[in-house]
Structures are given as structure tokens and as C-alpha cells.
Amino acid sequence: MSEIVSVSGGPTKPEIIAVSLSKLGLKDGDRFADVGCGTGSVSIEASRIARNLTIYAIDARKEALLATETNFKNFRIENATILAGEASDLLNSAEPIDSIDCAFVGGTKNIGSILEKLVEKKARSIVVNAVRIETVVRTIEAMKRLGIFDEVVHVAVSRSAPIAGETMFKPENPVYIVVGKKQT
């Protein structure tokens, strides 16, 4: 199995991806947006959970796009379009993405605008990862305005590490997982 090529800020830790994707509720055949894809690791895990996804991986940084391209090739991710640029612009019109079922947002610059566009594209479920408290507040407020706010989960993971032949735990940075669901 290939190692994932990393970039600054990614890959997202596997435990955070696991909780995020469990909240997202992907189904086979969904159209999935990985907004601020970094390394593409969330898309790679998403395609292990649901079959026949159509993936749109978006990032504004060249190094992230290159890493995603390499990782998708190494992990044999199919049906994926990698899009370069500001997410709120790329989600603005019907081209290249006309509708979305589920979105994971790991890149939170312009989060209010991104959420608006995802709702316009009929996303039934949106999960945002945030580490800054200001981003968490902005995300909750935007989701409430759009009538999609569901919950926030604060996840703090500690990982085992060897010490003097025994085992201690080292904390990872806590992450807030903000969940939005289309009201039915």
C-alpha cells in the first residue's frame, strides 16, 4: 500500500476523518465535494466507505493540487475531478459542478460563502473541520442562517508513544467537527 504524500496542513488525522465521514453519511453513487482537499486523504477514505462516488477535490494551493493528483493516482481513485482555485468561486456557477450530495470542508477561508453555494447545489449533508474558535463560530452562525445547523463535535485525540520501554499518550491538536444537514 502506498504512503500518502503530505502537504502542510494535511493529511487530516485518520480519527478525525473517521468521525467526519460518519457524520457525513455518504451513500453509494453520491456526488462528493472535498473542499480544501490538501492531500486528498478525505476523498480517498470516502471512496472506501461509498462506492461509485463522483469526487470534486478543490484547493487553491498548487502544492496541495499536486499532492492530491499523486495520491489519487497511487490509491487508484476514479471519477475524481481536481479543481484549482478559490472554492467559493468554483462553486459559483453550474460549471464545473452542477449539484452536490455531500461535502467535506477542510479549507475554511470564505466559509460563509462556501456554505451558501453548497446549499444552493442541494447538498444534503456538510461537515466542516475547524481548529480556530473564530472559524467554529462563523461556521455555526452561517449554518444557522442557512437553516442547516445540526451539531458541533469537539474531538481530542491522544496517541500512544513509547517512553522508557513503556507507553505514554501524546495529545493531537483538538478539532471541531461542525455538521450541517438539509432539513427534510
Ligand X SMILES: C[S@@+](CC[C@H](N)C(=O)[O-])C[C@H]1O[C@@H](n2cnc3c(N)ncnc32)[C@H](O)[C@@H]1O
Please, are residues 110 and 86 in contact by the beta-carbon 8 Å criterion? yes
Exposed/middle/buried for residue 34 (C-beta within 10 Å: 0-12, 13-18, 19+): buried
Site for ligand X in 124-153 (CB under 6 A): none
Binding range to ligand X, per CB under 6 A, among 39-47, 92-100, 158-166, 175-183: 39-47
- Nearest-CA neighbor of 37 among 23, 20, 55? 55
Binding region for ligand X (CB under 6 A) out of 21-29, 30-38, 139-147, 153-161: 30-38
Q: How far apart are CA 173 and CA 42, in angstroms?
A: 18
Write the CB contacts of 19 (distance below 8 Å, at least 6 apart in sequence): 153, 155, 177
Q: What residues contact residue 170 under an 8 Å CB cut-off, 6+ apart?
A: 158, 159, 161
Binding residue for ligand X (CB under 6 A) from 56, 59, 91, 178? 59
Q: Is residue 87 a contact residue for ligand X (CB under 6 A)?
A: yes
39 binds ligand X (CB under 6 A): yes
Instruction: Decide: is 9 part of the binding site for ligand X (CB under 6 A).
Output: yes
Nearer to ligand X, 57 or 148 (CB): 57
- Binding of ligand X by 107 (CB under 6 A): yes
Note the residues at the interface with ligand X (CB under 6 A). Answer: 9-12, 36-39, 41-42, 58-61, 64, 86-88, 106-110
